[in-house]
Structure 1
Amino acid sequence: MRDRRPLLAATAGAVAALVYFGSSEFLAGVLALTSAPLLILGQTVIPLVPTPLIKAAIAVFGTNDKLALVITIAVVGVVIGGIIGWIGVRRRSLSLVLLAGFGALPIILQFTAGGSLTGMVPAVVGVVLGCAAYLGLLRLAEVDEAPAALAEVDEAPAPAVRSTGAEATRILTTGETTGGPVGTTEAPDVRADDPRGPDRRLFFGIAAGLGAIGVAAIAAGQSAAVLARNAAGAVAQFVLPRPAASAPPIPDGADLEIDSLAPIITPNSEFYRIDTALVPPAVDAGSWSLRIHGMVDREVTVTMEELLALPLEEHYVTLTCVSNEVGGDLIGNAKWLGYPIRELLARAGPTSGADMVLSGSDDGFTASTPLEVLTDDRAALLAVGMNGKPLPRDHGFPARLVVPGLYGFVSATKWVTSLEVTRFADKQAYWTTRGWSTHGPVLVASRVDVPRSGVRVRADGGRVVAAGMAWAQHTGIGQVQVRLDEGDWQTAQLSEELNVDTWRQWRIDLTGVSSGSHTVTVRAIDKDGNVQISDRRPAIPGSATGLHARDLTVE
């Protein structure tokens, strides 16, 4: 009979891992703690992931890249639990030590990072429950497999043997036999449908139930964490002051109001989020401060109270991620409230030879921004508001950097706490050490939003409407051209411009379009005459390039 104990033990280990992750994740979510093992492991893994793999994850999952990482870590953890469980077939004590050690890893990581004792509670509880589930399932497995040795016995009944009187007397007094069964007694018939069957079904039933509870607890914990994060990000007590300089009203015609075309202003809830924080830091606005130091005449520290008392300004600025693929949606436009960074730097007085500002985040992220970009006349802000509300926690509450004309990886530091004036030759930022460019200027780009790719369009007398977005931050879009199939480039109508730091909508009526399959391609030209690069290249190290196209079928 095949020994099924390894399978049962591996299953017990995998379920124990699910119980561990589920209970700790749920408890952390309920207590609004950021110390769930999945999050701690994920935040530890992020800096170790090779850059090409990060790029691939963002390309595939977009803003869901962090959820994908959490799921991957959970799956890997379950596999590790299964391997540890399999070891327990012969080395029960070793497997229990390994399982507890695996569960204790996030506790150790948190402790070395200066975590609190309270933050360790979810993982400790998870270890206890996970080990208890493992031992309980192993006991069920042992009950199931205990008679396994009997299965080696030949199931054919032994021939009947008639005992002599003397032999029968000896058996009655000693309980021993010399060979076969006494009288007509036969060898036990051990079959798969004996009482072991129900035990095995019970094992898998309980294992499936515990596994399902573990998965549900992980999901519930994640949901509770999101709710707690959103509640913290809203910061009901945080009141934005009235801006000293308001943004100009949005001009008529800035939004073409075409179905499926991205709005000119991106709602906070729909604004893309790409950063290295698996869980956004919970920064207290009351104790927050910004330190400006390094190659300066004088070190400056600005508290939130001091920042809010300054004459704040509103500006519409479009931000985009360097990981945005051609035609991608890792871009958004918002009205930001903040104080000009150039004024803060002027207080500190950068010294001769400085050419870079290394901004630092509460979560350890750093970005390298050219000093000249932060000291010219552009609307580079230390922002505290987004679309008329305090910054959401996901987008940098209580303060972040907003710099027109640069990709976020070299400028848009969230939860910012430090500005170090230095030199590119002396310091490297988070992504620079991973092979990305140091300056990151935004390139001219555009995309087709309407019609959607692969849709069937009914032509109106041979006319098809195409529309989309174009951007060239801090230079401005001068023209957008559209081509149907391999035809000539045609000039599209542009929406009214908010300012040179924001994107613009475009539309065009393509006429004489016959039924069948077609391709719509777009390219943009900025106000300096720079034509969007048509050659395809990946985002690393500076930005993806190429022309965006959409396929459609005309009826």
Structure 2
Amino acid sequence: MKRWTAALIGVLAVAAALAAGHLVAGLVGTGASPYLAVGNTAIDFTPSFLKDFAVRTFGTYDKLVLLLGMALVIAGLAVLAGLLSRRSPLPGTVFAVVLGLVGVGAVLYRPDTDALGVLAPIASLAVGVAVFRWLHRTGPLDGPGRRNFLLVAGAAVLAAGAGRLLGDRVDVEESRRAVGDLTPRTKAPAIPVDADFQGEGTPSFITSNADFYRVDTALTVPRVRAEDWSLRVHGLVDRELNLRFEDLRRRDLVERTITMTCVSNEVGGPYTSTANFVGVPLRDVLLEAGVKPGADQLFSTSVDGWTAGSPIDVVLEEERGALIALGMNGEPLPPEHGFPARLVVPGLYGYVSATKWVVDLEITTFAAKKAYWLNRGWGERGPIKPMSRIDRPLGLSTVKGSKVVVTGVAWAQPVGVAKVELRVDGGPWQQTTLAAHVNAVTWRMWRIALDLPNGGHTVEVRATDKNGFTQPQERVEPIPDGATGWHSIFFTVE
């Protein structure tokens, strides 16, 4: 058999196998798609340093890069299997079986798939073996052989498309529209007009839903309708609660302006955003369940099986304002930000506090259960560290004229920012002008006007919180419990 024919047989067989699995997964649950199950499992077993590298290098495109990388690896292996099968179909058959068994193992491992989910990788295995052996018998790429090759390619495309359509049959957007307005009984104070310096380069104080950062482990956004959603509260409690979406929205909703920060945020990084969240005070729900003595962890689980552990003493602080959030910036939560419900705990990095698509709250202890990232060596409690960032001028940019306005943002949830200082070329620290204070759990914008001579300049920034703690100069990587260090940029004045 010619090399190109053998290679194409391997690629088409794998494509048909993955498409068949995706089609069946559309019926039994999207998470059972072998391609996605293997991808999600790969994320779970990725070392922390590699995950941090992916976020740092590719940002919010890290999942796309993973999927494309998987596709290239699988295609390469498929080509190799085809080339090894030029004289006999046995090597390719073995490869198809191994690929199918990897899919079975990944689906069985995933916490968001049930017993029926294994049907998807089994279908992949059967179709992969059958198509490979059939095409191998077909022979060269001419006459009937060409028609068979085209038939397999077309069938794979149709099966993958049908699987996508079936997987999207859960109409989340219709469910969001049906929720309608989430009118809070207690509204957040209006944002002052001078809460940012957007015209001079800072972000707007409130981050739009479209621009709000997203860092999570979900390869595909879970599709959960509000009508089907429920939240179980159990564990070390006096009474177990099972709450539907309507049970929560009928309560007295509150609106709170909160800045969220990702632990993966490097010094000067973009993973911090602010929104008006509407929801039910988490403290009220936990007190209704009755937290038993000795409990020190709120162990929350997402519909896709991801888990986080929040300190009980923190989420029970009344002034902290932790929420089971249902809405965000005047609308129900967007699907990618946790619809129908998520947790928001001010002052804690998201990996210990911000479970999206939350379906389970267990009151327990840190000794009894370890959440997703704790099992990977991350910090236990995750308090947000004071941090500041320079937004304008951009690093390595050229500024015209000696009058230079430097602007940026600082945060120190839940204490609040007291002052932000800047220094030029290692000189004395100068205090910046702060934008209007909104509350202690939100970021704060700053600006300073400098008169600088022509040439290159390095500016550094540091923030001090209202307890008098100044962010340290020492550079520490984000993992395991948040970055430290002074953000600095170099620019040229002409």
More deviation, 27-36/516-525: 27-36
**CA-CA distance at 1:291 after TM superposition:** 1.9
**CA-CA distance at 1:370 after TM superposition:** 1.0
* CA distance in structure 2 between the partners assigned to 1:254 and 1:208 by the alignment: 62
**CA-CA distance at 1:298 after TM superposition:** 2.1
The 8 Å contact of residues 355 and 424 in structure 1, kept in 2 or not, is answered as: yes
Q: 1:66 is matched with which residue: 63, 68, 87?
A: 63
**CA-CA distance at 1:105 after TM superposition:** 4.3
**CA-CA distance at 1:331 after TM superposition:** 1.1
The 8 Å contact of residues 19 and 133 in structure 1, kept in 2 or not, is answered as: no
Instruction: Classify the secondary structure of the residue corresponding to 1:430.
Output: coil
Q: How does 1:532-543 map to 2 (within 5 A)?
A: 532-543=471-482
* CA distance in structure 2 between the partners assigned to 1:230 and 1:266 by the alignment: 26
Coordinate RMSD, CA, aligned: 3.6
Deviations 1:124-176 (A, max 9, x none): 479748964785488555889xxxxxxxxxxxxxxxxxxxxxxxxxxxxxxxx
The equivalent of 1:375 in structure 2 is 316
The answer to whether the aligner puts 1:503 opposite 2:449 as a matched pair is no
CA distance change for structure 1 residues 553 and 28 in 2, over 3 Å: closer, same or farther? farther
Q: 2:293 is matched with which residue: 352, 367, 373?
A: 352
The 8 Å contact of residues 138 and 148 in structure 2, kept in 1 or not, is answered as: no
Asked which structure has the greater CA Rg, the reply is 1
**CA-CA distance at 1:396 after TM superposition:** 1.1
CA distance change for structure 1 residues 286 and 399 in 2, over 3 Å: closer, same or farther? same
The equivalent of 1:491 in structure 2 is 431
Instruction: Classify the secondary structure of the residue corresponding to 1:314.
Output: strand
More deviation, 78-87/96-105: 96-105
The answer to whether the aligner puts 1:458 opposite 2:400 as a matched pair is yes
The 8 Å contact of residues 233 and 397 in structure 1, kept in 2 or not, is answered as: no
The answer to whether the aligner puts 1:528 opposite 2:473 as a matched pair is no
Q: Percent identity?
A: 39
* CA distance in structure 2 between the partners assigned to 1:540 and 1:533 by the alignment: 16
The equivalent of 1:472 in structure 2 is 412
The 8 Å contact of residues 36 and 123 in structure 1, kept in 2 or not, is answered as: no
* CA distance in structure 2 between the partners assigned to 1:431 and 1:410 by the alignment: 8
The 8 Å contact of residues 274 and 443 in structure 2, kept in 1 or not, is answered as: yes
* CA distance in structure 2 between the partners assigned to 1:292 and 1:32 by the alignment: 25
* CA distance in structure 2 between the partners assigned to 1:140 and 1:252 by the alignment: 72
* CA distance in structure 1 between the partners assigned to 2:167 and 2:60 by the alignment: 15
The 8 Å contact of residues 315 and 335 in structure 1, kept in 2 or not, is answered as: yes
TM-score normalised to structure 2 length: 0.88
Q: Which amino acid aligns with 1:13?
A: G
CA distance change for structure 1 residues 501 and 45 in 2, over 3 Å: closer, same or farther? same
The equivalent of 1:147 in structure 2 is none
**CA-CA distance at 1:23 after TM superposition:** 7.6
Instruction: Classify the secondary structure of the residue corresponding to 2:227.
Output: coil
Q: 2:231 is matched with which residue: 262, 281, 290?
A: 290
* CA distance in structure 1 between the partners assigned to 2:118 and 2:181 by the alignment: 32
**CA-CA distance at 1:273 after TM superposition:** 1.2
The 8 Å contact of residues 171 and 225 in structure 2, kept in 1 or not, is answered as: no
The 8 Å contact of residues 260 and 346 in structure 2, kept in 1 or not, is answered as: yes
Q: 1:419 is matched with which residue: 339, 342, 361?
A: 361
The answer to whether the aligner puts 1:448 opposite 2:390 as a matched pair is yes
CA distance change for structure 1 residues 109 and 396 in 2, over 3 Å: closer, same or farther? same
Uncovered stretches (5+) of structure 2, i.e. residues with no partner:
none
Q: How does 1:169-184 map to 2 (within 5 A)?
A: none
Q: 1:51 is matched with which residue: 21, 45, 48?
A: 48
* CA distance in structure 2 between the partners assigned to 1:206 and 1:537 by the alignment: 60
The 8 Å contact of residues 5 and 141 in structure 2, kept in 1 or not, is answered as: no
Q: Which amino acid aligns with 1:424?
A: F
Q: Which amino acid aligns with 2:70?
A: I
Q: Which amino acid aligns with 1:530?
A: F
CA distance change for structure 1 residues 230 and 530 in 2, over 3 Å: closer, same or farther? farther
The equivalent of 1:242 in structure 2 is 183
CA distance change for structure 1 residues 29 and 525 in 2, over 3 Å: closer, same or farther? farther
Instruction: Classify the secondary structure of the residue corresponding to 2:228.
Output: coil
**CA-CA distance at 1:550 after TM superposition:** 1.7
The equivalent of 1:149 in structure 2 is none
The answer to whether the aligner puts 1:273 opposite 2:270 as a matched pair is no
The equivalent of 1:403 in structure 2 is 345
The 8 Å contact of residues 85 and 95 in structure 1, kept in 2 or not, is answered as: yes
Uncovered stretches (5+) of structure 1, i.e. residues with no partner:
145-204
Q: How does 1:131-146 map to 2 (within 5 A)?
A: 132=131, 136=135, 139=138, 141=140
Deviations 1:80-131 (A, max 9, x none): 2122112212331441353255256435644776558699569847974896
CA distance change for structure 1 residues 6 and 470 in 2, over 3 Å: closer, same or farther? same
CA distance change for structure 1 residues 534 and 215 in 2, over 3 Å: closer, same or farther? farther
**CA-CA distance at 1:525 after TM superposition:** 0.8
The answer to whether the aligner puts 1:432 opposite 2:374 as a matched pair is yes
Q: Which amino acid aligns with 2:442?
A: T
The 8 Å contact of residues 33 and 120 in structure 2, kept in 1 or not, is answered as: no
The 8 Å contact of residues 195 and 445 in structure 2, kept in 1 or not, is answered as: yes
CA distance change for structure 1 residues 421 and 7 in 2, over 3 Å: closer, same or farther? same
The 8 Å contact of residues 24 and 123 in structure 2, kept in 1 or not, is answered as: no
CA distance change for structure 1 residues 335 and 221 in 2, over 3 Å: closer, same or farther? farther
